[in-house]
């Protein structure tokens, strides 16, 4: 709460300056839309949303909110063969989860089918559209190429009456799929291929997830999109760069029909390194079982990030920080991780968990004694209070926290050295017990200093190392899933054209640890709960958790300067 002062919010709002806001500011100044700002987020329900969509959602809803405007959620559902209710439900859930509210403005392009049909009729009546009997292959041939103009369809000059009759019969279902289309009559020699008599209606005898079998002709996206924006009174229709070439076409429809004219503004979509950002490719990973589903914690989907433990706050902060521009860019995933750490550092309760347990026997600690020690829940947030954790003669520490031959700058436990067990006592390593055959270290014999209760003494002793631990007798066994990048290339799509992006999947993106030991308070943790495993990272309880058998996802590790030192000295050698 203390962090959410209006002041801080203002600071952030000031930072938000981008070319789209500049345009809106200008429009507001000139009164172009009578001071209205009305945006929309228009997904097609043919897959789950990913973080690239989050950028767009934050942009559209964020602008509406900052300018006292409105933002609609509209499904552009013009292709029944690829769309499903499952996707519309997941999209609604994800937008809501991100914290945005479309209130009563949930729309579907399919709501406008009748209106769009009337528009198409109007174009036909005014000689601006015609029914074409060419097959798809022929239409393609007639379209020409990038450098050569197209040829006019032999059906281009059909009389209006005949077009009307045919179009009405298309709607009535008299013709087979693909046998005829309705086309806009524009210019077959336009250098913009979108203007070469684009198809605006096709016959598709498919059941639509909302309109069922009411229709057997469906408008093309290019026809439906701009007109839907117009119908909704959108002022600023924000979309991605690839639609820049389509804007003249949308404008053409609007002008011919003489209807309200929104302004389209294009921005560069988000790319993140070490992952892919296209619904088609993500669906491919799901369909081919390279991941467990759309919500696999390695996926850049909103549902994947959510399951992984990403917070909506961190995603929205990320969206603010990456900015909006027309330059195509690939953002370093380290920025996303930074936003997450910053958020979780402030809020996540600290807890102790040992991922790779090494048993420590404290030889001078009374056999049957158990102490309840106080542990602070979050040093960043004193109000989070403390909790009790049990301490006894045998504890587990992390294998990495002990080295028989400590390298330079290693200041954790090693023979003869002393470290602090967080919130507990100083212990000193007296003896290393090994498996006689394998030489593997089985356990450590240590002594503790009773004067150091709580992990501190006033004698000026310098104890540099601090380890997390759990009491062996009280620990709960847990499964922990560690995640790495989904791909091992920074840009899996940029490699030579004919290589499949799936070749670059990181085979080590998932590591499951089955024998982790966590403090007893975590036994019945609710799925979705965030916490920091002290010194290791932020983790989130997975829905696979069962009472007494928690499962954790590592959301992101803590920054690890020891790992950095180690890497550096290794590289130096």
Partner RNA sequence: UGGGGCGUCGCCAAGCGGUAAGGCAUCGGUUUUUGGAGCCGAUAUUCGUAGGUUCGAAUCCUGCCGCCCCAGCCA
Q: Report the catalytic residues.
A: 44, 269, 279
- Among 3, 103, 438, 561, the residue binding RNA under the rule CB under 7 A is 561
Residues 467-526 contacting RNA, CB under 7 A: none
Q: Is the distance from CB of 516 to CB of 477 less than 8 angstroms?
A: yes
Q: How far is the CB of 190 from RNA (least distance, A)?
A: 8
Q: Which is nearer to RNA, 128 or 527 (CB)?
A: 128
> What gap in Å lies between CA 286 and CA 280, rounded to an integer?
10
Binding mask 51-90 for RNA (x = CB under 7 A): -------------------------x-xx--x--------
Question: Residue 406 has what DSSP assignment?
Answer: P
Give the nearest distance from C-beta 535 to RNA in angstroms.
4
Distances (CA, A) of 302 to 55, 91, 107, 486: 11, 9, 21, 15
User: Is 325 a residue that touches RNA (CB under 7 A)?
Assistant: yes
Nearer to RNA, 264 or 509 (CB): 264
Binding mask 343-382 for RNA (x = CB under 7 A): --x----x---------------------------xxx--
Q: Minimum distance between the CB of residue 292 and RNA, rounded to whole angstroms?
A: 26
19 near RNA (CB under 7 A): yes
Under 8 Å between Cβ of 520 and 299 = no
Beta-strand runs (E) in 422-468: 426-434, 441-448, 466-467
Residue 181 binds to RNA (criterion: CB under 7 A): yes
Q: Which of 12, 386, 564, 569 binds RNA (CB under 7 A)?
A: 564
The reply to whether 17 sits near RNA by the rule CB under 7 A is yes
- Interaction residues for RNA, span 426-455 (CB under 7 A): 454-455
C-alpha distance from residue 471 to each of 278, 304, 361, 549 (Å): 46, 33, 10, 17
- How many whole angstroms from its chain centre is CA 48? 10
Cβ neighbours around 11 below 10 Å, total = 10
**DSSP type of residue 435:** -
Residues between 267 and 306 that touch RNA (CB under 7 A): 268
Q: Least separation, in Å, of the C-beta of 169 and RNA?
A: 15
Indicate whether 147 belongs to the interface with RNA (CB under 7 A).
yes
Mapping DSSP to helix (H, G, I), strand (E, B) and coil, where does residue 171 land?
A: helix
SS3 category, 508: coil
Binder among 122, 278, 466, 529 for RNA (CB under 7 A): 466
**Minimum distance of RNA from residue 325's CB (angstroms):** 4
Q: Is 313 exposed, middle or buried (0-12, 13-18, 19+ CB in 10 A)?
A: middle
> Of 33-41, 304-312, 508-516, 529-537, which segment contacts RNA by CB under 7 A?
529-537
Using CB under 7 A, which of 72, 303, 532, 545 touches RNA?
532
Residue 397 · residue 469 · CB < 8 Å: yes
Q: Is 457 exposed, middle or buried (0-12, 13-18, 19+ CB in 10 A)?
A: middle
Binding mask 380-419 for RNA (x = CB under 7 A): x----------------------------xxxx-------
């Amino acid at each position: 709460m203390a962090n959410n002062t209006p002041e801080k919010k203002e600071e952030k709002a000031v930072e938000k300056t981008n070319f789209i806001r500049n345009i809106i500011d200008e429009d507001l100044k000139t009164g172009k839309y009578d001071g209205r700002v009305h945006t929309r987020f228009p997904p097609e329900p043919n897959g789950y949303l990913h973080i690239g969509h989050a950028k767009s959602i934050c942009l559209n809803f964020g602008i509406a909110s900052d300018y006292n405007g409105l933002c609609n959620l509209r499904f552009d559902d013009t292709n029944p063969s690829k769309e499903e209710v499952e996707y519309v439900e997941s999209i609604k859930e994800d937008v809501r989860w991100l914290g945005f509210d479309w209130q009563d403005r949930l729309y579907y392009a399919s709501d406008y089918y009748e209106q769009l049909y009337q528009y198409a009729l109007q174009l036909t009546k005014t000689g601006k559209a015609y029914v074409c009997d060419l097959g798809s292959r022929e239409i393609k041939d007639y379209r020409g190429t990038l450098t050569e103009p197209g040829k006019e369809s032999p059906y281009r000059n059909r009389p209006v009456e005949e077009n009307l009759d045919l179009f009405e019969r298309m709607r009535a279902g008299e013709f087979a799929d693909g046998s005829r289309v309705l086309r806009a009559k524009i210019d077959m020699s336009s250098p913009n291929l979108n203007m070469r008599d684009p198809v605006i209606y096709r016959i598709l005898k498919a059941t639509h997830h909302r309109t069922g079998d009411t229709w057997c002709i469906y408008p093309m996206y290019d026809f439906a999109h701009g007109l839907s924006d117009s119908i909704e009174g959108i002022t600023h229709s924000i979309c991605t760069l690839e639609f820049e070439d389509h804007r003249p076409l949308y404008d053409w429809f609007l002008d011919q029909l003489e209807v309200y004219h929104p302004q389209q503004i294009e921005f560069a979509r988000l790319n993140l390194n070490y992952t892919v950002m296209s619904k088609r490719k993500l669906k491919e990973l799901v369909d081919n079982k390279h991941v467990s589903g759309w919500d696999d914690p390695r996926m850049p989907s909103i549902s994947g990030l959510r399951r992984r433990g990403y917070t909506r706050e961190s995603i929205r902060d990320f969206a603010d920080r990456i900015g909006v521009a027309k330059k195509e860019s690939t953002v370093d995933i380290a920025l996303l991780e930074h936003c997450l750490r910053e958020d979780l550092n402030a809020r996540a309760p600290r807890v102790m968990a040992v991922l790779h347990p090494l048993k420590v026997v404290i030889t001078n600690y009374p056999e049957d004694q158990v102490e309840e020690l106080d542990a602070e829940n979050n040093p960043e947030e004193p109000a989070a209070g403390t909790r009790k954790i049990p301490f006894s003669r045998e504890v587990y520490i992390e294998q990495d926290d002990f080295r028989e031959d400590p390298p330079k700058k290693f200041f954790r436990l090693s023979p003869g050295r002393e470290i602090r067990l967080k919130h507990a006592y100083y212990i000193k390593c007296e003896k290393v017990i090994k498996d006689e055959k394998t030489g593997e270290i089985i356990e450590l014999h240590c002594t503790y200093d009773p004067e150091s209760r709580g992990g501190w003494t006033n004698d000026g002793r310098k104890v540099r190392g601090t380890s997390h631990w759990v009491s062996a007798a009280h620990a709960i066994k847990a499964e922990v899933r560690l995640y790495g990048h989904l791909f091992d290339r920074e840009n899996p799509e940029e490699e030579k054209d004919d290589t499949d992006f799936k070749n670059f999947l990181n085979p080590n993106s998932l590591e499951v640890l089955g024998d982790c030991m966590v403090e007893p308070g975590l036994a019945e943790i609710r799925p979705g709960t965030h916490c920091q495993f002290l010194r290791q990272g932020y983790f989130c309880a997975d829905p696979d958790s069962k009472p007494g058998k928690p499962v954790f996802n590592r959301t992101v590790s803590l920054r690890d300067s020891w790992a950095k030192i180690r890497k550096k000295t290794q590289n130096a050698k």
